[in-house]
Amino acid sequence: MNMKQTWSLTGEEERVATYYATEMPTDPRLVTPATSLDELNLNWREKDLPERERTKHVHRLHPYLGKFIPQLVEIFLRKYFRAGETVYDPFCGSGTTLVEANALGINAIGCDIAAFNCLLSRAKTAQYDVALMRKEVLDILGRVEERTQATLFSQSRVDDEFEDTDNEYLLKWFAFQTRKELLIYRSLIPRYQCQDLLKVILSRAARSARLTTHFDLDFPKQPQTEPYYCYKHSRICRPVQEAFKFLKRYSLDTIRRIEQCSKLRTKARVTVLYGDARTVSLPGKIDGVMTSPPYVGLIDYHEQHRYAYELLDLPINSENEIGASFKGNSQKAKEAYRQGIASVFSHTAEHMDSGKRMVIVVRDRDKLYGGIASQCGFEFENVIRRHVNRRTGRRANAFFEEILILRKK
């Protein structure tokens, strides 16, 4: 492969248009260690890879901005790893690498500095007694319904045991009935074994039940308390006043997704580490890395799930996020980002033997990773450019990203 041509932006749009017209995208299931990188077509269109496939089973257990699609991860796991080996993701986020590795019999270690990300990754990769999981998810839902929902014999349910919160965020962003339903659900979680999973259902419902517009669930700035014109539904909508319908919808969806994923689960180990990947203690050697680091000044990973941090009283460590949006994208911010990523990779390299690979999915607009790789003891083996033309939410513009394949010297 011509590295210079792969890295260049010259004529990229025309090349991709031709690529789409003449080549079929890669089927991840057909990739083997013998598959040449030159054979890979990673430019999936919607008809090639519909949303239901990109968000299959637990990959949509909870919304998460900035994650890579599981098919991309599967390709490089099949190419570079064997069953029984160990892959590490130092920015595991919502756990995509961990889920896909387990399905292939590959041991996985994930690390993240955000407590909610670790909670979500644990919930996705836990080994469930499916019958017990279903029973618990439905039981807590029934208890909340009994205590909060109107019946044929009463216009409303009055719960004498309910005590409202003094949390300013929850008071500001949730209507009274919404808070009541969410807080009662939260109070019941300690009764059950599948607590991480129940917390994810609660968080997902809270995200949808905030006082915000339907078209701005990612980063709403102010509560929406009055009716508004909804661009998503093309009509006048009203702010949500209750959470139970979301608790019910996501409970049933979660049961279905866990049941689907449980059929694919292997006995491979999954370890989720809550901590800073620059210093975290890794349990032994790793056989390689599959990761998608944060981008410079793009997303605040704590803030996107602020409702979960407030509702579950999770520790906030946003100041130590690498590349957080609130830190900006000035030259100073880019240098801090470069140093942060280099520190993570240097620490990771201490647990890798010579010749082992690191596969990094990133949009390296500022060309920072060449210097980072060299500084950390890695050399470029290959770079693959990928056209990303399908995204979720209102951030629907297409862009290009690189898959950097580094080999430890």
* pLDDT tens profile 114-134: 999 999 999 999 999 999 999
The residue behind tokens 């909670």 is 119
Per-residue pLDDT, 129? 98
Q: Bridge-partner residues for 228, per DSSP?
A: 237
47: pLDDT confidence band, cut at 50, 70 and 90? confident
Per-residue pLDDT, 9? 45
Q: What is the mean pLDDT of residues 170-192?
A: 97
What is the model's pTM? Answer: 0.91
The full DSSP string for 350-407 is TTS-TT-EEEEEE--TT--HHHHHHHTTEEEEEEEEEEE----TT----EEEEEEEEE
* pLDDT tens profile 141-158: 999 999 999 765 555 555
Contact 87, 288 (CB under 8 A): yes
* CA gap 120, 357 in Å, rounded: 27
* pLDDT tens profile 345-388: 999 999 999 999 999 999 888 899 999 999 999 999 999 998 88
Q: If we measure between CA atoms, which residue out of 370, 358, 363 comes closest to residue 405?
A: 358
Per-residue pLDDT, 19? 53
Tell me the percentage of the chain whose pLDDT exceeds 90. Answer: 75
Per-residue pLDDT, 162? 80
Per-residue pLDDT, 5? 34
Q: What is the mean pLDDT of residues 330-346?
A: 96
Q: What is the dihedral of CA 275, 54, 308, 314, to 10 degrees?
A: -10
216 or 242: which carries more pLDDT confidence? 242
Res 104 pLDDT > 70: yes
401 or 33: which carries more pLDDT confidence? 33
| Domains delineated in the chain | 3-123+266-408 (3.40.50.150), 130-261 (no CATH)
Q: How many CB atoms lie within 10 A of CB 129?
A: 12
